[in-house]
Structure 1
């Protein structure tokens, strides 16, 4: 690796598995001291142990980001302590994906999804940005989704939260950019961990038929984009949503 994030500190929410874990591992490999965060302490400890075994720096901070300002502020405070007093990069990755159709969505489910996917990153960003500004700058990377711009049945609730987060990306870029805090987003497409050899194709493969990539992506593809957005290489990038979706949303799909 090139140590593009050398001497940087980073808080990555929802980083005990899948995309969040890949981002934490990639950040650490590039020299960042990372806080791995999530609800499952056993999985968090496993991620931290793996990063340390590879020579990286990582700590786990348990957090249940339910959308309350208190939960977000508590995570920000504990992460700063673990990282030596500052957070240079925030990755808002944590999210939940129940997918009932609109008529089958009750208020409790609606509030929970918006709490985790929108309110939590909103209040966490509010808690982290002042410290970034005081330190002279920072970077925020939000996780959007391809279905924020390409409707799928049963995706109304989740996709609307990701649409909100992509809108916040642009609004925050305007609000915080002049103070030295860059805000951008990654919009993953169909992303799956590498399948064990010999297993049957995942249903997600069908969604990628006719796309330029022709197959699903893996978490490391998203992680590489997040590293770039957090690094100095992207210092002139503000308010951008980077599609990492194999061309699913930006290119005409021709069924084979």
Structure 2
């Protein structure tokens, strides 16, 4: 349980769902976790829960709307970071014909510009200290078209492409870059989740738990994955790769 001992990990959007699960798993593996989000109360509650379990965690409030200044401010507040998880994202389900310019800019800002500029702010420090890890969160609908959320899909596809590009750009300087592509993940606070219908016909046959994504993130962040570069790890119950016909 010490695979991340001595390392500092910043997880964006880590006050709920997948981000919270990753923060919890990283703390259990010995990392100093920097929890980020917009809500101070939720952030404080997550930090308190991690510390009660013996973890090392702090909260930094961040408004990652895509502005370069916001990413830079978060990088400065977090201090030296060894592991960056670009998890924060938004999913307005608007279709192409109903997406206005303001919504377009907001989705691109949070889902693409923010991780781009935050990575640019933190990678130089990783290189200077001898190495680091960047993990991006993609999505199964970046590769399997669905009739809603086209712009969200496009931003996640771009982030998966950046994963490969950044691996080529930073890998030789000691920074490993990989991505996780989650399938349909059921929020733990919901008893009934309509999204699970999208997992019909898959080997799993149900939505996943955030802990499944957290386990993949621990692997990619740890030395167990020291030979893994520029890959997108599908943790999707077989959604994009397998179809079970009746």
Q: Would the TM-score normalized by the shorter structure come out above 0.5?
A: yes
Q: 2:239 aligned to 229, 236, 248, which one?
A: 248
What is the TM-score normalised by the length of structure 2? Answer: 0.98
Q: Distance in 2 between matches of 1:195 and 1:48?
A: 19
State the 1:253 CA deviation.
3.9
> Is 1:232 the counterpart of 2:223 in the alignment?
yes
2:193 maps to 202
1:177 maps to 171
Deviations 1:79-110 (CA, angstroms, capped at 9, x unpaired): 01xxxxx2100000011111111010001100
- Superposed counterparts of 1:124-143, under 5 Å: 124-143=118-137
Q: 1:163 aligned to 138, 150, 157, which one?
A: 157
What is the SS of the residue equivalent to 1:52? helix
State the 1:252 CA deviation.
1.9
1:83 maps to none
State the 1:58 CA deviation.
0.2
1:218 maps to 209
1:59 maps to 58
Q: Distance in 2 between matches of 1:95 and 1:195?
A: 18
Q: Distance in 1 between matches of 2:106 and 2:196?
A: 29
What is the TM-score normalised by the length of structure 1? Answer: 0.94
Cα distance change on mapping 1:122 and 1:23 into 2, 3 Å: same
In the alignment, structure 1 segments of 5+ residues that lack a partner are: 81-85
Deviations 1:47-81 (CA, angstroms, capped at 9, x unpaired): 0000000000000000000101110000000001x
What is the SS of the residue equivalent to 1:74? helix
Say what the alpha-carbon RMSD is for the aligned residues.
Answer: 1.0
Deviations 1:120-165 (CA, angstroms, capped at 9, x unpaired): 0000000000000000000000000000001111121100000000
What is the SS of the residue equivalent to 1:246? coil
> Is 1:115 the counterpart of 2:109 in the alignment?
yes
**Number of equivalences:** 246
Query: Which aligned runs of 4 or more in structure 1 are off by greater than 4 angstroms?
Result: none
In the alignment, structure 2 segments of 5+ residues that lack a partner are: none
